Chain A
Amino acid sequence: QVQLQESGPGLVKPSETLSLTCSVSGDSMRNFYWTWIRQPPGKGLEWIGNIYFSGTINYAPSLKSRVSISVDTSKKQFSLRLSSVTPADTAVYYCARASGVFDFWGRGILVTVSS
């Protein structure tokens, strides 16, 4: 059974960079897209981007200028960096495994952007 766990700071100041890591256990990272999705409080799901195990990366057009995703398969981790954050970036951030559909998810981590 694949398990994913998000980690990182729960509070980030405006204009700074949000950094999160997702640790994967229970299966190989091969042949899947490793994905970040966020959900502002009380709102819907927003796909942020993903990285294939080999390193190919895709970002949502609306966030492309501020987002960076990387992977370290030796550590079975992948990471998200979102720069120049504002309060509008406050959300629960989920990591997930994708084979087209998102079949395994982390529990999510609430990141609040506030001074």
Chain B
Amino acid sequence: EIVLTQSPGTLSLSPGETATLSCRGSQSVTSNFLAWYQQKPGQAPRLLIYGASTRATGIPDRFSGSGSGTDFTLTISRLEPEDFAVYYCQQYGSSPLFSFGPGTKVDVK
């Protein structure tokens, strides 16, 4: 079972700044099958990135993903007010068994 860790736990930034979120796997994620989700209070998570770096349909280009193997990064450029939320990474390399990271909260400084 692949265990994902995310850092930092909380990231305090101002609108217009850049957020850099990290996700690390306990072992290599097969074929870089790593996704990122955004969750706002009271809502279901929304898929942002899959395959480590491909944006899902309708996701703005200020969201970008990178990385391979065990280390992955989600970068949010020019933070907008609606980007303050919790972000989760998820691996599906061991599909049909899945796992999520514990999340990173991006809040307003």
Q: Which residues of A contact B (CB under 8 A)?
A: 33, 35, 44-47, 50, 52, 56, 58, 60-61, 94, 96, 98, 100-103, 105-108
Q: How many angstroms from the CA of A53 to the CA of B96 in the assembled complex?
A: 13
Asked whether, in the complex, the Cβ of A106 is within 8 Å of the Cβ of B44, the reply is yes
Nearest Cβ distance between residue B20 and chain A, in whole angstroms?
20
Instruction: Return chain B residues, CB-CB under 8 Å to A108.
Output: 44
Q: Quick check: is B92 within 8 A (CB to CB) of the other chain?
A: yes
Q: Which residues of B contact A (CB under 8 A)?
A: 1, 33, 35, 37, 39, 43-47, 50, 56, 88, 90, 92, 95-103
Asked whether, in the complex, the Cβ of B100 is within 8 Å of the Cβ of A47, the reply is yes
Residue of B nearest to A108 (CB): B44
Q: How many angstroms from the CA of A98 to the CA of B45 in the assembled complex?
A: 13
| Interface core residue of B35, B39, B47, B98 (most chain A CB under 10 Å) | B98
Q: Which of A35, A61, A94, A103 contacts B47 (CB 8 A)?
A: A103
Nearest Cβ distance between residue A60 and chain B, in whole angstroms?
8
Asked whether, in the complex, the Cβ of B56 is within 8 Å of the Cβ of A103, the reply is yes
Instruction: Return chain B residues, CB-CB under 8 Å to A107.
Output: 43-44
Asked whether, in the complex, the Cβ of B92 is within 8 Å of the Cβ of A101, the reply is yes
Nearest Cβ distance between residue A42 and chain B, in whole angstroms?
10
Interface SS, B side: loop
| Interface core residue of B43, B95, B99 (most chain A CB under 10 Å) | B95
Q: How many angstroms from the CA of A2 to the CA of B23 in the assembled complex?
A: 29
| Interface core residue of B43, B44, B50 (most chain A CB under 10 Å) | B44
Q: A44-B88, A44-B103 are in contact. Are A98 and B98 (CB under 8 A)?
A: yes
Q: Which of A47, A96, A101 contacts B35 (CB 8 A)?
A: A101
Q: How many angstroms from the CA of A100 to the CA of B95 in the assembled complex?
A: 6
Instruction: Return chain B residues, CB-CB under 8 Å to A45.
Output: 39, 45, 88, 90, 100, 103
Instruction: Return chain A residues, CB-CB under 8 Å to B99.
Output: 47
Q: How many angstroms from the CA of A107 to the CA of B97 in the assembled complex?
A: 22
Nearest Cβ distance between residue A114 and chain B, in whole angstroms?
21
Q: How many angstroms from the CA of A44 to the CA of B1 in the assembled complex?
A: 18
Instruction: Return chain A residues, CB-CB under 8 Å to B103.
Output: 44-45
